[in-house]
Structure 1
């Protein structure tokens, strides 16, 4: 993790939680123009991703039409013109068919930290990235009222097994962020708090939109809530860094 402008040595978790995300200058250079841009992939990998998406799209369409529990894996495989064993090679669990797109965001926070601007702290980079997502109505922020996104979110939050599986995705996101912060206990503590804040902000935005407000109407309040959340997050991390509980 980055502390006071220097790279931390080792992964034993020494140092403050505040140092993990709130203070240090950037410890590595990156040529990416967009911090969250994913790395380039091979043609073979792109084809694999297209197959993933095609199967997932077919499954989601069926889930939205009939309900997640009313559609069998065999029906999805038939609709995608593949066998069940082939489907399970791509998607280990039925829930993954619906949550495939979340996998694209598993390491997003880690990429934001790794590609932040020179002199920018990890926490400032994450704040900037989330606010930019609100501005462009990124569905991941919960601030999107496009009909297809609303339908998908209602499917997701209305299906307990999907919500449970989503927490597994968020756990992997937390682990990736902790690694980007240098590893160790303090980095894991910081990553856990950051991921929790981002999840709660997104859920609150979605709750308001699901209650009937438009994304434009929610936007100002979402920005204010995000700003306040990051202030509280910074204060909490700094307090832990001083050894307080």
Structure 2
């Protein structure tokens, strides 16, 4: 039974990715507003009801790649090592992402990622939906922070807002550098320095409860 469930889930993931990839390709070729959901379904060789079962809206065909990261910050906090402060864990995770050139950090200059960024930032309908994804990630992080012993729920929500905004600003700056034609390897040292400065600023503003000002969090 477990093996069958695993196979079904992998098939669903493949179908989901195939639909999204077809959509992004069509949107990049013809423009988001000129491509219909029916066009996407035909290109992915699925029915419209099947498409909507995976992606409730046209915008979700693109933005699900961000939605997949909605609870990432919350997961990092919950899975941090014993004795590691939440902010230290989040700093470490972001720096690891920069080192791997994870697209979610903005520091990635591969053609596919640059094309995706151009689609996103040049399409008002997609940009208009971004705040909802950011807010859900902030709420998830606030819940995780509130689980820390002695943490006031309001303080947790306030901290989550600061942290998610910091990550967003850092990622956006990296995207701007990539779209300006700079190489990710050249920007990397600057991106690391900006990340340290930004997390230090958050730590010093929030106080010791969420990690202090140490870069290592130790």
What TM-score, normalized by structure 1, do the two folds share? 0.78
Counterpart of 1:202 in structure 2 is 171
Distance in structure 2 (CA, Å) of the matches to 1:129 and 1:42: 28
1:124-135 maps to which residues of 2 (within 5 A)? 124-135=88-99
Distance in 2 (CA, whole Å) between partners of 1:79 and 1:119 is 50
3-state SS, counterpart of residue 181 of structure 1 = helix
Counterpart-to-counterpart distance in 1, 2:137 and 2:6: 23
| Residue segments in structure 1 that go unaligned for 5+ positions in a row | 1-40
**Partner of residue 52 from structure 1, selected from 16, 28, 36:** 16
2:136 to 172, 177, 183: 172
Structure showing the higher helix proportion among its residues: 2
Paired position in structure 2 for 1:95: 59
Aligned CA-pair RMSD? 1.8
Relative to structure 1, the CA distance from residue 93 to residue 48 in structure 2 (aligned partners, 3 Å threshold; closer, same or farther) is same
Shift of 1:169: 1.3
Report the equivalent of 1:212.
181
Q: Determine the structure 2 residue equivalent to 1:78.
A: 42
CA deviation digits over 1:76-97, x for unaligned, max 9? 1111222222211211110100
For 1:216 and 1:195, the matched residues in 2 are separated by 25
Q: Deviations over 1:163-213 (max 9, x none)?
A: 121221111111111111126222111111111000000000110111111
- Residues matched between the structures, number: 201
- The correspondence for 1:232, drawn from 201, 204, 209, is 201
Match of 2:29 among 65, 73, 79: 65
Q: 1:239 to 1:160 in 2, by over 3 A?
A: farther
Any idea what SS the aligned residue of 2:18 has?
helix
Q: CA shift at 1:42, angstroms? A: 3.8
Unaligned 5+ runs, structure 2: 148-152, 211-218
1:240 Cα offset (Å): 10
Pick one of 120, 123, 147 that aligns with 1:156.
Answer: 120
Aligned to 1:186: 155
TM-score normalized by the length of structure 2: 0.87
Counterparts of 2:174 and 2:113, CA distance in 1: 13
How far did residue 47 of structure 1 move?
2.3
- Which structure has more relative contact order (CA 8 Å, sep 6+)? It is 1
Q: Secondary structure at the match of 1:137?
A: coil
